[in-house]
Structures are given as C-alpha cells and as structure tokens.
Structure 1
Amino acid sequence: MGDIVLSSAVRENLLSLKGTAKLQSTTQNRLATGLKVNSALDNPNSFFTAAGLNDRASDLSSLLDNMGQGVQTIRAADDGITAITQLVESAKAIANQALQTQSEFQRKAHTEQYNDILEQIEDLARDSDYKGKNLLAGLGNELQVIFNEDSTSNLKIDPVDFTDTSLSNGLALSDLETGAGATSSFSFAGASTTLDLPTLQASSKLSELGTWADGDIITVTDGTTPTTFTVGSGVGEIETVQDYVNALDGIQGLKATFDETTDQITIVSGLGPSVTLSISKDNTGGGTATGGGGTAGAATTSTTTAMTAAAKLTSSGGYDVGDVLYITDGNGFEAAALEVDKNTTVSDVVSLVKSIKGLDANFSSGSVSLEGDVSWNITSSSKDFNIDAFATTDGTVKLTATDSGFKDDTDIERVLKAINAALDELRSAASNFGTALSTVEIRTDFTEELINTLEVGAGALTIADMNEEGANMLALQTRQQLSSTALSLANQAEQSVLSLFG
C-alpha cells in the first residue's frame, strides 16, 4: 500500500469518515447498553465511584431480607400476645363467674375450665414461632436485626417466656387445685316398742301405779351409754306420765308419744342398725322392778333393723312429719331440701341426693353410700337425725372432699389479682414488641430509600442520556453522509486528469 499515493483532500476525508465511524460505534454502544460508562476505560473515576455506590446498595439490599424476616418474627409474637391476652381475659371472666356463685360444685367446674385456659395459653405461646424463632418462648430465642453493612447498627430484641404460665418472670399464673372427691355413708334403721301404763292419763302421777314409787330410777341404754331418770317431784325428776314421755322424747334418736286410749307410751328408735334399746325401772324408792312400764318384769328391749327403700321415714326415730332435710356443700350453699311428710320414703331421700350435681348415692341393705366431687353436708331440722348411738352429739352426714382452688372468695380474689398482673405483663410485652416492630419498619423504609438514593447516584455517573445519544447518532449519520460526499468530490477532481488522455 505504500506505493499508492492519495491526495491530501482524499486523506482528510478518509480520516473524517474513520472518526465519524468511531463516534457512531461509541454512540451505538451507549444506546444499546443505556450506559455512558461501561468500563473503567470509559471514565475511571465515574466507573469506580458508581461501582462503590452500587456495591453498598447491594449490601443494603441483602440486609432488607433480614429486616423483613425480623418484622415477620415480631409480628408473629405480637399476634401471639394478642391471642394470649384474649385467653387471659377469658380466664378472668371464668374467675368472676366463680365469684358470683356460692356453689362449690360450680366453682370446681370453673377451676377446671380455668386450668384448661392456662394450658391453651402455653400451647399458643409455643405455636407463635416464625422460621424457628419464637419471641414468646424465652431464652435462646433472642432476635438481632442488623441495619448496616458492618453490623455496628443493630437492634436486639429480648424474648419473654409464656410457654409456662407459672413462671414468676412471665405471667405468674399457676394451675389451680381441682380438688379430689370423697365418699361417705349413713344408714336408715328403725324399731318400735311400747310401755303399758294401765289406767293412767298424761297428767297422772307415775306413783299411782302399784309397782312405781318416788325414788325409783328408770334406765334407758343403747347397750353402751345409759341415761337415767328419777321418779319424784324434785328438780330434774319425773312425776307424771307426760314428764316420762318428754324425758324419753328428749333423748336423741328416740321419739316418744302417749296414747290415752290405750294407756301406752310408743317409743320409736332411730339408732344405728342392730342397736338394742333397753328400758328398765328399778325398786330403789320402794316400788317393784319393771321393764319401764307398769308390770313387774325384765327390761323392755327393741333392736333396730335396716329399712327398705320403700319404708316410710317416720318409721324411724330419726324422722318426723315436718322435719326438713338440707343438703349443703362445703360453702354452705343449699343445693336441695326435703320436707318430710307421712308418705316420704327412703327412696325419696336417695332420689333427692342423686338429683344433685356433684353428688351421687347408692342404696343397699339400709345404707346409703355417697360419692361427691366436693364436700357435702346432710342435716336436718330435727335433733334426732342420724343419731346412731346415745353418745352421738351431731348427726350431720359429712362428706369431706379436697377443696378446689376456687372454693373460697379469698382464693378467687387472689387469682383475679394475679390475672390483672398478668394482663399488665402482656401489655408491657406488647408495648416492647410494638416499639421494636416500629423501629425495624422505620429502618426498613429508610434502607429502601437509601438504596434508591445510592442507585440513582450511581446511575447519574454511568447512565447515558438516551435523548442526547439519539441526537448524536443523527448528527453522526449526517456527518458520515457529508464526509462520503466530500470524498466523492475529491475523487472526481482527480479523475478529471483522465480527460487529457481522451
């Protein structure tokens, strides 16, 4: 090529075309990539500055994922606290319901419901995890959210532990004693005997009988404990038939009446099954020993037998028409009552007991077996009820069960106080998590804005102005066309020499 000689005009046009082509190539590359700085060769300062900005934006973008997961973990804990708060409020409502009733059985039922709520709280706390992190499960679940590239800016969120409601540094709500049931029993027994007092009326003196004299002593015994009365007109002595009847009737477990038509005292015993009542009068005052009546002889005896389910209560000395039986629980709550009439049977009492929630009864061979979930007492308006021996001073049928945690008002009030403290703890935890959640969300928003700022800044250094580059391309295309035309003209000037050889 060194042998070819080009004119200066042609060479200048060729150089112009080469420069234009190079500029076109650069402009086309910018239009294709959208960047005016594609490598360090284009602009080292802008390239490396933009790379630094983009690198930081990328690092912060990776932290956004951590922040987002932190937000979800906190929200899971907050959702758990919200639900636990509702359950604690339900427990409070149960305690208040227990306080509004005196029924020990109902309070026991409320105790069991309360414990069920606590179990649900623990289950809910354990279920409040997010990707293996649970801010309601205590130690080992600390959450750290990092906000910058070198981890110097971060937020540590300490967990609480609600998976065990009894923890003193948590809700401090312990399970309540539900109480244990118990058993008891009582018997239905009866016997009847009569004492003949011939020719006497209620107002007659006992000494009018030939076998009786003032100073004679009457002995009534159940085989173990004797009770004595002295015939006479002195203080504490019995003088008339009515005095005698009243004395016998005054012994617990016995009923005594006098029939002036038959001149007989009828004594009905309600002592325990197979207990023998014995009545006798001696001759201490000069009379003749009798069986408690007017005829000389041995003691009058009567042995109680077990009553059947169909037997009437009045056939026992422990019951009389008008007596009222009361069934009350350990709190004194009256669950049922029965007024005895002449037709009331043993079966009626058993049915009454079986109708009471928390108390059951079975009757067999004159004995009632009781089974109760809570404590129960069966009492009577009569002093003769359930007196199985003269030594018995209180015939109350007692069934003593283990108390539940809601038995007494003071117990319930103590639980309510603990519940209120637990609600304060939940509100405090919710506030702490809410503050942490707000902080993380604010830092997330800030990081997103900062990433955008960094990327915009990097783009300002490297991104091409497409409008400008488009205009440049049109200008270069025009320049190329003009350069081509100029080259053609230069070549035509040289071709004019050929005409000389025509």
Structure 2
Amino acid sequence: MSDITLSAAVRQNLLTLQTTADLLSDVQGKLATGLKVNSALDNPNSFFTASGLNSRANDLNNLLDDMGQSLQTLKAADKGIQSITKLVDSAKAKANQALQTQSQFERAQFAKQYNDLLEQIEDLAKDSSYKGKNLLAGGTNDLTTIFNEDATSKLTIQAVDYTDASLSTGLNLSDIAEAQGGASSFDIRGGSETIALQAGTGQPLQSSSLLSASDAIDVDDVLALFDGPATASSIGTGFTVGAGTTVQDLVNYIDGFAGVNASFDDATGQLVINSNQTIDIRNDGSSGSTGNTADLAAITASAANSSGALLTNSASFKVGDTLTLTDGNNFELGSIEIEADTTIEDLINFLDDFNGVTASFEEASGRISLLSDTDLTLASDNNDFNDNTVAATNTNNDVTIAALTDSGFATDGQINRVIDRLNTALGNLRSQASEFGTNLSTIEIRQDYTRSLINTLQEGAGLLTLADTNEEGANLLALQTRQQLAATSLSFASQADQTVLSLF
C-alpha cells in the first residue's frame, strides 16, 4: 500500500473520514453504555473518583441487607415478648382465681395450671429465634448491627434469657409446689348390750327413778367400767350410787366415756349401751346386798363386716350426729347428718363425692380408707367419733389427712407473693419491650439514612461518569452528517484526479 500515491486532497478527506469514524465510535460507545467515562483512559480523575463512590455505595448496600435482617430478628423477639406478656397475664389471672377461693383442691388445680403456663412461656421464648439468633435466649445471642463501612458506628443489643423462667436476671418466676396427697383410715367397730332396769315388782324404771329402786343396785354400790373380763383393768373412776342417784345419772356416767354411748328408753326401762371395744360394766356390791356383785353388762365389740351395716351400730355414731368434711384452710366441703338408717355405704358415698377425695371400705377389717389430694379433716360433733379404744376422756374426735406436699397456692400469703412476682415480671417485660422498640426504631432510622446515602453516592458517581444522552445523540447526528459530507468531499477529490484519465 505504500506504493500507492494519494493526492493531498484525497489524503485530507480520508483523514477527516477516519477522525469522524473515531469520534462516531466514541459517541456510539457512550450511548450504548450510558457512560461518558468508561475507563481511566477516558478521564482518570472522574473514573477513580466515581469508582470510590460506587465502592462505598456497594459496601453500604451490603450493610443495608444486614440491617434488614437485624430488624427481622428484633421483630421476632418483640413478638415473643408480646406473647409472653399475655401468658404472664394469664398466670396472674390463675393466681387471682386461687385467691378468690378457700378450697385447697381448687387452689391445687390452679397451681398446676400456673406451672403449665410457665412451661409455655419458656417454650415460646425458645421459639422466638430468627435465622439462629434468639434475643430471648440469652447467652451468645447478643445482636450487633453495623451502620458504616469501617464498623466504627454500630449498635449492640443485649439478649435476655426467658427460656428459664426462674432466672433472677429474667422473669424470676419459679414453678410452685404441686399438691401431693396423703392417706388415713379409721375402723368401724361396735358392740351393743341392753340392760333392763326394773324394780323388784317387775315394773320398768324411768330415767328420773332412783337407781337404788332397781332390783340389782343399792345405795353405796360402786359401778365401774373394765376393759375386759374379771382380770381386766378398770377404766376411769367408779360410780358410787347415792341415796338420790337417778337412772339418768348412770346413763350420763356411762355416756361420758370416750368410745361408749348410752341411752335409756323410758317406755321399756331398757338401758342400751354401745361400745367400740370389749368392756364389762360391773357392780362391786359395796352395799352388801345379796346378789349385787355381778356384771351388769358384758359387751363384745367387733369390726363391721358389711358396707350395708348401720353406722349407729358403732359407739362412734348416734342419730343426729353431724360429720363435717373440711380441708386445710378450714374450707367446708360438706356435711352429713347421721340418721337411724344411715349405713357405712352412705358415708362412703358422701366422702367419695368430693373432688380430690377417694373413700373405700374394707369388709375384711371393717376399715374405711381415705385418700386426699390436700389436707383433710373429717370431724364429728360427737366426742365418741373415731375413738377406737374406750377411755375415761376423749382424745380424738376427728380423722385428719396431712398432704405430703401442699400446693404453692395453699395460703393467701403464698398466692400474694406469687402475684407480686408476676407484677414485677410484667414490669420487666414492658421495660424490655420498650428497649427493643427503641432499638428497632434506631435501626429503621439508620436503614432509611443508609438508603438515602447510597442514593447520594451513586448519584455523585453518575454525575462524574454518566453520559448526557441528549447531547451524545446530537453529537451522533452531527458526526453522521459530517461523515456523509466527508465521504462526498472524498468523492469529489477522487473525481478531480480521475480527469487526468481523459487525456488518455
């Protein structure tokens, strides 16, 4: 090609076309990329400045994603606290319900429900995680959110531990004791003897009659109770018959022993004696009257062997007795009045009707067994109740069951202490929710700021590198026109050279 000789005009037009083509290529590149600075060759200062701005914008954009994830972690914890607060409110409601009743059984049920709610609180706290980070689980779950590219601006949120409700640094709500019941039993024993008190004429005595009018008892005779046959020991002090002693005085004397009851029927002149143990009632014949030294009554007591047996067969029960069932708070569960036809089965049914109480009768031993979830007392207004031995004085007129463990709601004081702790826990939850809310707002504000800053950086980079499409479009049109004109000029220059050919 170096052997070809071009005229100055053609060479000039060709150079113009080459220059225009280069400019046209450059403008087309700007329009295609939208950038007026595509490399350091275009404008080193603008290129590296824009690169720095874009790099910072990219770094902040990555941090913006982390802020979004921190927000979600905080929201999960906040939702958890809201739900835990509702559960603590429910636990407080259970405590208040327990405070409104004196029934130990109902309080024991509320105590169990309270513990169940605490377990749900712990489970909910464990479930409040987001992507493995749980602000309600304490430990290594602290959340750090970085706000700038060199990590000099950041926010660290301390995790709290609600997964164990008993922690003093958390809710400080411990499980309360749940009731564990106890057991007791008492025997239904009895024997009966009837003594016919009559005068020597065969006429029955009245309760107001002089006792010495009896054909077997005289003034100065001493009557006494013994715990068995002739070799047995006497029980209490003897009863000396005086000149004015009446039949009723004797009835009162016998009836005054624990485990023994006596009644007198004026119509028949019969003295009926019931005893829980085998006893003898003897006359020592101190008066010296012939035939007065004898057993007035020998009573052999045995265990009841049928649930259909009458309760009044035992000296522990008399018609009109009232048996009352109460718990450890002296809350009356119910009462039953003994009637002439009241059986052991009626008593079992009465006891077995109450929640947390189980009663059964063992016919082989004549024993009533009681199981109770709470402290329990079965008491009678009859002093002979539950005296399984005959004694001069009554020492035991009730059956008690002491629960192995009373519930944590057994007393008002215990319940009020739990309510105080619940109120403190609610205050802590609200304070923690407020703290999380403040942190949430802080991250949202920094997120909005970072988003705006990214836009500012990208906009600044664009000012340095973005092409003006309107201007470049006009340049493209001008260069295309210039290219066409240069091509036409090159054609004219070539035609001028071609006139030389006409000479040949």
Q: Give the shorter-chain TM-score range.
A: over 0.9
Instruction: State the Cα distance separating 1:315 from its structure 2 match.
Output: 2.2
The alignment status of 1:339 with 2:337, answered yes or no, reads yes
Equivalence for 2:251 = 245
The alignment status of 1:485 with 2:501, answered yes or no, reads no
Q: Contact 2:383–2:394 (CA<8 Å) still a contact in 1?
A: no
Instruction: State the Cα distance separating 1:5 from its structure 2 match.
Output: 4.7
3-state DSSP class of the match of 1:183? strand
Q: Contact 2:137–2:160 (CA<8 Å) still a contact in 1?
A: yes
TM-score under structure 2 normalisation? Answer: 0.92
> How is 1:417-428 mapped onto 2 (pairs within 5 angstroms)?
417-428=420-431
Equivalence for 1:293 = none
Q: Contact 1:289–1:298 (CA<8 Å) still a contact in 2?
A: no
Residue 432 to residue 302, structure 1, CA distance change in 2 (3 Å): same
Instruction: State the Cα distance separating 1:354 from its structure 2 match.
Output: 1.3
Question: How far, CA to CA, are the matches of 2:181 and 2:302 in structure 1?
Answer: 31
Equivalence for 2:418 = 415
Q: Contact 1:185–1:368 (CA<8 Å) still a contact in 2?
A: yes
Q: Contact 1:221–1:227 (CA<8 Å) still a contact in 2?
A: no
Question: How far, CA to CA, are the matches of 2:3 and 2:301 in structure 1?
Answer: 156
Counterpart selection for 2:298 from 298, 301, 322: 301
Cα deviations by residue, 1:115-142 (Å, 9 ceiling, x for unpaired):
1111111111112222222111112111
The alignment status of 1:218 with 2:216, answered yes or no, reads no
The runs of 4+ residues in structure 1 deviating greater than 6 Å are: none
The alignment status of 1:351 with 2:381, answered yes or no, reads no
Cα deviations by residue, 1:352-395 (Å, 9 ceiling, x for unpaired):
11111101011013111111111111112222222222254221
Residue 3 to residue 163, structure 1, CA distance change in 2 (3 Å): closer
Instruction: State the Cα distance separating 1:253 from its structure 2 match.
Output: 2.7
1:353 maps to a residue whose letter is L
Question: How far, CA to CA, are the matches of 1:175 and 1:288 in structure 2?
Answer: 78
Residue 356 to residue 210, structure 1, CA distance change in 2 (3 Å): closer
Cα deviations by residue, 1:179-235 (Å, 9 ceiling, x for unpaired):
2111100121221112232223322222334654433322124456334322226xx
Runs (5+) with no aligned partner, structure 1 = 291-295
Q: Contact 1:38–1:462 (CA<8 Å) still a contact in 2?
A: yes
Question: How far, CA to CA, are the matches of 1:149 and 1:222 in structure 2?
Answer: 101
Question: How far, CA to CA, are the matches of 2:101 and 2:267 in structure 1?
Answer: 54
3-state DSSP class of the match of 2:298? strand
Question: How far, CA to CA, are the matches of 1:56 and 1:306 in structure 2?
Answer: 98
Q: Contact 1:319–1:384 (CA<8 Å) still a contact in 2?
A: yes
> How is 1:192-203 mapped onto 2 (pairs within 5 angstroms)?
192-199=192-199, 200-203=205-208
Equivalence for 1:280 = 282
> How is 1:450-489 mapped onto 2 (pairs within 5 angstroms)?
450-489=453-492
Equivalence for 1:314 = 312
> How is 1:95-494 mapped onto 2 (pairs within 5 angstroms)?
95-199=95-199, 200-209=205-214, 212-222=217-227, 225-232=235-242, 239-269=245-275, 271=276, 275-287=277-289, 290=292, 296-298=293-295, 300-307=297-304, 308-365=306-363, 366-389=366-389, 390=391, 391-401=393-403, 402-494=405-497
Instruction: State the Cα distance separating 1:263 from its structure 2 match.
Output: 2.8
Question: How far, CA to CA, are the matches of 1:321 and 1:9 in structure 2?
Answer: 148
Residue 393 to residue 2, structure 1, CA distance change in 2 (3 Å): closer
1:191 maps to a residue whose letter is G
Question: How far, CA to CA, are the matches of 1:221 and 1:356 in structure 2?
Answer: 41
Residue 473 to residue 397, structure 1, CA distance change in 2 (3 Å): same
2:494 maps to a residue whose letter is N
Q: Contact 2:320–2:339 (CA<8 Å) still a contact in 1?
A: yes
Residue 268 to residue 372, structure 1, CA distance change in 2 (3 Å): same
3-state DSSP class of the match of 1:256? strand
1:464 maps to a residue whose letter is A
Instruction: State the Cα distance separating 1:9 from its structure 2 match.
Output: 3.1
3-state DSSP class of the match of 1:220? strand
Question: How far, CA to CA, are the matches of 1:168 and 1:88 in structure 2?
Answer: 16
Instruction: State the Cα distance separating 1:462 from its structure 2 match.
Output: 0.8
Equivalence for 2:30 = 30
39-48 or 375-384, which moves further after superposition?
375-384
Residue 105 to residue 144, structure 1, CA distance change in 2 (3 Å): same
Question: How far, CA to CA, are the matches of 2:493 and 2:135 in structure 1?
Answer: 85
Instruction: State the Cα distance separating 1:288 from its structure 2 match.
Output: 5.6
Equivalence for 2:202 = none
Cα deviations by residue, 1:370-426 (Å, 9 ceiling, x for unpaired):
111111111122222222222542210111102110111111111111111111111
1:248 maps to a residue whose letter is I
275-284 or 169-178, which moves further after superposition?
275-284
Runs (5+) with no aligned partner, structure 2 = 200-204
1:118 maps to a residue whose letter is L
Question: How far, CA to CA, are the matches of 1:53 and 1:426 in structure 2?
Answer: 44
3-state DSSP class of the match of 1:301? strand
Q: Contact 1:281–1:289 (CA<8 Å) still a contact in 2?
A: no
Percent identity of paired positions between Structure 1 and Structure 2:
54
2:279 maps to a residue whose letter is L
3-state DSSP class of the match of 1:40? coil
**Paired residues, number:** 488
Instruction: State the Cα distance separating 1:164 from its structure 2 match.
Output: 0.9
Cα deviations by residue, 1:224-252 (Å, 9 ceiling, x for unpaired):
6334322226xxxx711122122222333
Instruction: State the Cα distance separating 1:349 from its structure 2 match.
Output: 0.4
Question: How far, CA to CA, are the matches of 1:349 and 1:25 in structure 2?
Answer: 113
